[in-house]
Structure 1
Amino acid sequence: MDNKENTAASFSTWDYVVFALMLVISAAIGVYYAFAQRRQQTTRDFLVAGQSMTAVPIALSLTASFMSAITVLATPVEVYCNGAMFILSCLGFILMVAISSEVFLPIFYRLGITSTYEYLELRFNKVVRLCGTMLFIIQTLVYTGVVIYAPALALNQVTGISLWGALISTGVVCTFYCTLAVVWTDVFQVIMMLAGFLAVIVQSVLIQGGVSVIFNDSADGGRLNMWDFDPSPLRRHTFWTILIGTTFIWTSMYGINQAQVQRYVSCKTLLHAKMSLYINLLSLWAILLSSGFCGLCLYSFYKNCDPWTAKMVSAQDQLMPYLVLDILGDYPGIPGLFVAAAYSGTLSTVSSSVNALAAVTVADLIGPYFSLSEQQLSWASKGLSVFYGIACIGLAGLASLMGGLLQTTISVLGALGGPLLGLFSLGILFPSANSNGGLAGLVSGLIMSLWVCIGAQIYKPLAENVRPLPLQTHGCNMTTAENDILNWTSYPTQGSYATSAEQHKAVDRPLLADYWYSLSYMYFCPVGTLVCIVIGQTVSLFSGGRRLKLEPGLTLIKEDLTCYKIYKILKQKATRNSNRLDMITEKEKSGRTNLAFCDVELDITKIQAHRTA
């Protein structure tokens, strides 16, 4: 859009009505199921739905758990600023689903545990379990704070209320929602997210004159940069960093994260649990592709006038709400639908995370040390949900200091989740791993991943590793000389970098800054995972791991693999067919004693003469 002026569009009455209606429906679903299941008094029923769920609602709930406002707001901005390469995450999702369903899911479902960290005590010891639990709590609190911050940005943009006011109101709504049922409401919220994307996509295509126009604009601006096979691990985004990084990061979320495992074990059969993951893959693709195309729409609209550079928004992650007000402001209720979509993602994610925090705290930190009844544990779970919700509001304020939403989220999840993924992988895949190796691996992986993550925050990567795409302002109708000369060519909130001049000026810049600290943020998780496995297995082998005797069911066995089950079925069918053929052959051989089946031609005259004699 050329000659874009800084208009102060905001919510209308109908937008508030639609937004409020979404909150009311979400709460009503939760209240209904809370009363419908009020006789379930055990903490297990509250946390895993009594193992009565089927594949489809669990699949949509899995999607909603980590498809938050970050997806709704930050993924389009990533595509807008750095191109569509991030959409290649779809390939990583395939590997993630295969690994999660084949390696981790069978173990947790077979053991029937409420907290994934119970496994660490069964496999290693109580110290390893407590360390894993504390790391999970820290990771989830920080992540949830970022998730609460995301829709507060949107609310701040469209309503004009202060950011802290938006943060507190968002946190209060999320905290109330966390005490309600969290599976069927997630189904409604996934639909809301898709509806919000669809509204933006349809209107953008209509205004711009077709999908081809949007793709042509994106191609001219270099936004269709999908296939970069540069193997350098220092490049921010390439085919390899996206594929490898996404596989590790999302496996750490779907394979071992308490919020997701809680959903697996709520399925009534292992088959339903596995099917939920594969159905979830389709909804993940739908949401990621929708958000990616919204980013292309965003660029097509503002290719000549970047609203952030022109000071029309206070943060780049407010670009999507700005676009919605720009193109849908004349349709009462539609901007409210989009903000409701962002809130839907946040409600589902925060509720899942806080519910998981409560589950882990009860199972790992309260249950083993205090003699409480099931009723008391159930109330403790709900009380902890409120406590953690309040804590996340405070951390949401800190999230505003951490830069862009997408890179911040992946960095936090990767640095803290990578060592945990390595620890669980060590226990499940390596029978010789012992408690000494598990603890050493976890600590080593955490040190390495935090080292590179913190270093990357302090020392900006070089421009040649980030390779930002240009954003223009020459089409803006600016009144100040300062804005007239702006032609922004960097991405400071999500992909900040150091120019060559800045590098030479910084005489105290260490050598590691241009190599180790410049590692792509997508590799923070693989670093923590691989270091944990290598160190953990090495220490285990040197501390008696070969003599370790494990209880059955704690490690992966070939019978857990779907491919092995298919092989066994095919082999049984082949064996049955072979046995059938053998039986037929035996019958044919035995039938040869009957003269009627004899191949020798009989001389009837001789037989009759013999009988006469």
Structure 2
Amino acid sequence: MESANSYFLPVDFVIFGGILFVSASIGVYFAYKDRKVQTTENYYFGRRNVSPIIVAMSLSVSYISALTVIGNPVEVYLYGTVYAWTVVANLIGFIAASIYYIPLYHRLRIKSVYEYLGRRFHSRIRSFASTMAMLELTFYLGITVYLPSLALSAVTPLELNWTIALTSILCTFYTSIGGMKAVIWTDVLQGVIMIAGMLAIFIQAIIMYGGFGPIIDAADRGDRNNLFKLDIDPRVRSTVWTIGGALGLSSCYLSCCSQVTTQRYMSCNSVRSSRITISSGVNSLSALALEDFVIPCFPAMSTTRKMVFSKVMTVIFGGVVMGIAYSVSLLSSNIIQINMITGAVAAPILSVFTMGMFMPWINSWGALSGMISGIVCGSWVALASINQATYPATTESLPVSTNNCTVTSSLHNVTTTLSTESSEDTTALEPMSTISEEYGSVLQYTLYSMSPFLYGTFAFFVSIIVGHIVSLFTGFNKVSEADPDLFVPVIDCKILRFGIPEKSSEEIAENSKENVFINSCCTGDDCGQDSPDSPHNEKKETVF
């Protein structure tokens, strides 16, 4: 058992308990405050009038999760500062969401982001994509619950199993009773705490080592100052291209077609407010279950039953996420690499949105076949590479020897120098793959040795290629019959509209008036949904 000196001090327990209490109280407050507004519109979207600044802070916390705070320092320590290019990758997603996706979602006033796929292609594609997204999100949330629970178990007497349960139950509690407003405001609270903690560590490190100079020198000595690693070999794990470029595709999924983020976009009352934004996961899972599976089967369900179902499903999904977190705790692989496997599912979903919005000739068969092919091929490569990758640069980390390192203990004010008889003594790390001396088969040396940051890119392009091939053999859609509301040109010019008709100025003005009326007058569960006479509600196998 670890020394008690590594545990929280009494004041730490008081602060930690206070944070838990305030988080739970936020859920109770909004449950009481909105007790007379029992609608799914309020529960999932905060009546679409949440401040864009608050939503922006909540979205930031979605990106600065436990995976970022705990996982990224490990990634930088093992593979260097080249991982900083994730900033560029995230920027790609923000720009794409702001220019293309947010205006489309507000124009259609959808509740589930996968509702778009039902309008553009077919309801079955909507259901399949939503199912895959729920599986991906559940696994991702399991990782994000596991990491803070692991850290908590290291600084308290609680075992890991108990900290996982505590984290899961607390998040599920305030989410289930308070809805999206509780989620957003607890995100704000936790975001402030995380940022303050990271700043405190940063400042303390500067003080301890006497400025940036010694820290940069230490990074140079350990070969970690590799920010401009431009190797073009796709088997090299971390480079400018695999992180700054390929990882940008995963960022596009999170920013553009994940229910977690789009639900926040739709919590704002306008496109402009949402563009400012660029524990919610459980709330989003509940929203997907309701909007994509229950309401299509029971369209006449009452508001009361919708709310009961929403809260029950929130609790159920909270339990499922807790189970996933327990499962993740049993794995020995690198957490970042495990998270990249989810990209094999997320990227094909992004590809369907890409084909729907920018490629009007793709039909329903092409979209479905492409998505399935991308998920199968991407998952196959991602799972096989864990134990089959044989190219050394795919898995080898930077030197991790601690010989002759000076360590200062702030608890006992003691300075010691670590040294051993052998210069080969290094920190024991669990290998992420089996590397054979002969490199093994061609697949092991090539495809299975692909950088884990490329799993999503590989799956994305498989989906696009298969989507075009199947659409070719089953008959491309007639572009001239496309619904302009469901299409977004890459650049708004005649050539890149591919012959899709433009809406007249009268139609645009009429739609604007309708949206203003809905925003100002509609507060119930039917808010944002099309009227029975809306062309979007027509039963069509393929819109384009």
TM-score category (smaller protein): 0.7 to 0.9
Given that 2:92 and 2:251 are in contact with CA atoms closer than 8 Å, whether structure 1 keeps it comes out as no
Distance 1:379 1:488 in 2: 58
Distance 2:387 2:395 in 1: 16
SS at match of 2:484: coil
Question: How is 1:33-112 mapped onto 2 (pairs within 5 angstroms)?
Answer: 33-112=30-109
Given that 2:341 and 2:383 are in contact with CA atoms closer than 8 Å, whether structure 1 keeps it comes out as no
Q: In the TM superposition, what is the alpha-carbon distance from 1:81 to its structure 2 partner?
A: 1.9
Are residues 1:513 and 2:424 paired? no
Given that 1:426 and 1:433 are in contact with CA atoms closer than 8 Å, whether structure 2 keeps it comes out as yes
The letter of the residue matching 2:379 is: L
Seen in structure 2, the aligned counterparts of structure 1 residues 203 and 129 have a Cα distance that, compared at 3 Å, is same
Question: How is 1:193-592 mapped onto 2 (pairs within 5 angstroms)?
Answer: 193-277=194-278, 351-370=279-298, 371-400=300-329, 401=331, 403-412=333-342, 414-475=343-404, 485=422, 487=424, 492-493=429-430, 496-499=432-435, 502-504=436-438, 509-547=440-478, 549-557=481-489
Percent identity between the aligned chains?
A: 31
Deviations 1:93-144 (A, max 9, x none): 2221111111222211111011011111111111111110110111011111
Given that 1:81 and 1:491 are in contact with CA atoms closer than 8 Å, whether structure 2 keeps it comes out as no
Given that 1:462 and 1:497 are in contact with CA atoms closer than 8 Å, whether structure 2 keeps it comes out as no
SS at match of 2:268: coil
How many residues are aligned here? 475
Seen in structure 2, the aligned counterparts of structure 1 residues 8 and 246 have a Cα distance that, compared at 3 Å, is same
Seen in structure 2, the aligned counterparts of structure 1 residues 398 and 460 have a Cα distance that, compared at 3 Å, is farther
Given that 2:401 and 2:427 are in contact with CA atoms closer than 8 Å, whether structure 1 keeps it comes out as no
Distance 1:55 1:16 in 2: 34
Structure 1 residue aligned with 2:113: 116
Given that 2:138 and 2:324 are in contact with CA atoms closer than 8 Å, whether structure 1 keeps it comes out as yes
Please provide the CA RMSD for this pair.
2.5
Q: In the TM superposition, what is the alpha-carbon distance from 1:452 to its structure 2 partner?
A: 0.9
Q: In the TM superposition, what is the alpha-carbon distance from 1:17 to its structure 2 partner?
A: 0.8
Greater Cα shift, 399-408 or 426-435: 399-408
Distance 1:255 1:487 in 2: 47
Q: In the TM superposition, what is the alpha-carbon distance from 1:34 to its structure 2 partner?
A: 2.7
Deviations 1:34-74 (A, max 9, x none): 32222222112110111102321111111112321111111
SS at match of 2:234: coil
Distance 1:138 1:415 in 2: 12
Given that 1:426 and 1:537 are in contact with CA atoms closer than 8 Å, whether structure 2 keeps it comes out as no
Seen in structure 2, the aligned counterparts of structure 1 residues 402 and 445 have a Cα distance that, compared at 3 Å, is farther
Seen in structure 2, the aligned counterparts of structure 1 residues 191 and 453 have a Cα distance that, compared at 3 Å, is same
Distance 1:41 1:154 in 2: 37
Given that 1:473 and 1:486 are in contact with CA atoms closer than 8 Å, whether structure 2 keeps it comes out as no
Are residues 1:154 and 2:151 paired? yes
Greater Cα shift, 443-452 or 172-181: 172-181
Given that 2:70 and 2:147 are in contact with CA atoms closer than 8 Å, whether structure 1 keeps it comes out as yes
Distance 1:486 1:421 in 2: 48
Distance 1:274 1:556 in 2: 17
Deviations 1:334-366 (A, max 9, x none): xxxxxxxxxxxxxxxxx2111110000000111
Structure 2 residue aligned with 1:165: 162
Given that 1:429 and 1:556 are in contact with CA atoms closer than 8 Å, whether structure 2 keeps it comes out as yes
SS at match of 1:116: coil
Given that 1:474 and 1:484 are in contact with CA atoms closer than 8 Å, whether structure 2 keeps it comes out as no
Greater Cα shift, 169-178 or 76-85: 169-178
Given that 1:460 and 1:496 are in contact with CA atoms closer than 8 Å, whether structure 2 keeps it comes out as no
Seen in structure 2, the aligned counterparts of structure 1 residues 39 and 537 have a Cα distance that, compared at 3 Å, is farther
Given that 1:469 and 1:489 are in contact with CA atoms closer than 8 Å, whether structure 2 keeps it comes out as no
Distance 1:90 1:223 in 2: 18
Seen in structure 2, the aligned counterparts of structure 1 residues 7 and 38 have a Cα distance that, compared at 3 Å, is closer
Deviations 1:479-523 (A, max 9, x none): xxx986484668845x73544xx333x8xx432011101101111
Distance 1:417 1:83 in 2: 26
Distance 2:476 2:314 in 1: 39
Distance 1:156 1:185 in 2: 22
Distance 1:390 1:39 in 2: 28
Distance 1:434 1:19 in 2: 53
Given that 2:235 and 2:393 are in contact with CA atoms closer than 8 Å, whether structure 1 keeps it comes out as no
Seen in structure 2, the aligned counterparts of structure 1 residues 109 and 486 have a Cα distance that, compared at 3 Å, is farther
Unaligned 5+ runs, structure 1: 278-350, 565-613
What is the TM-score when the length of structure 2 is the normalising length? 0.82
The letter of the residue matching 1:538 is: I
Seen in structure 2, the aligned counterparts of structure 1 residues 192 and 153 have a Cα distance that, compared at 3 Å, is same
Structure 2 residue aligned with 1:297: none
What is the TM-score when the length of structure 1 is the normalising length? 0.73
Larger Rg: 1
Q: In the TM superposition, what is the alpha-carbon distance from 1:159 to its structure 2 partner?
A: 1.4
The letter of the residue matching 2:455 is: F
Distance 1:167 1:472 in 2: 32
Seen in structure 2, the aligned counterparts of structure 1 residues 488 and 553 have a Cα distance that, compared at 3 Å, is farther
Distance 2:420 2:433 in 1: 22
Distance 2:492 2:191 in 1: 31
Given that 1:29 and 1:185 are in contact with CA atoms closer than 8 Å, whether structure 2 keeps it comes out as yes
Distance 2:241 2:365 in 1: 33
Given that 1:460 and 1:498 are in contact with CA atoms closer than 8 Å, whether structure 2 keeps it comes out as yes
Given that 1:69 and 1:150 are in contact with CA atoms closer than 8 Å, whether structure 2 keeps it comes out as yes
Given that 1:84 and 1:223 are in contact with CA atoms closer than 8 Å, whether structure 2 keeps it comes out as yes
The letter of the residue matching 2:456 is: C
SS at match of 2:297: coil
Structure 2 residue aligned with 1:284: none
Distance 2:168 2:264 in 1: 23
Question: How is 1:136-147 mapped onto 2 (pairs within 5 angstroms)?
Answer: 136-147=133-144
Greater Cα shift, 360-369 or 464-473: 464-473
Q: In the TM superposition, what is the alpha-carbon distance from 1:6 to its structure 2 partner?
A: 8.5
SS at match of 1:525: helix
Given that 1:358 and 1:381 are in contact with CA atoms closer than 8 Å, whether structure 2 keeps it comes out as yes
Q: In the TM superposition, what is the alpha-carbon distance from 1:468 to its structure 2 partner?
A: 1.7
Distance 1:7 1:98 in 2: 48
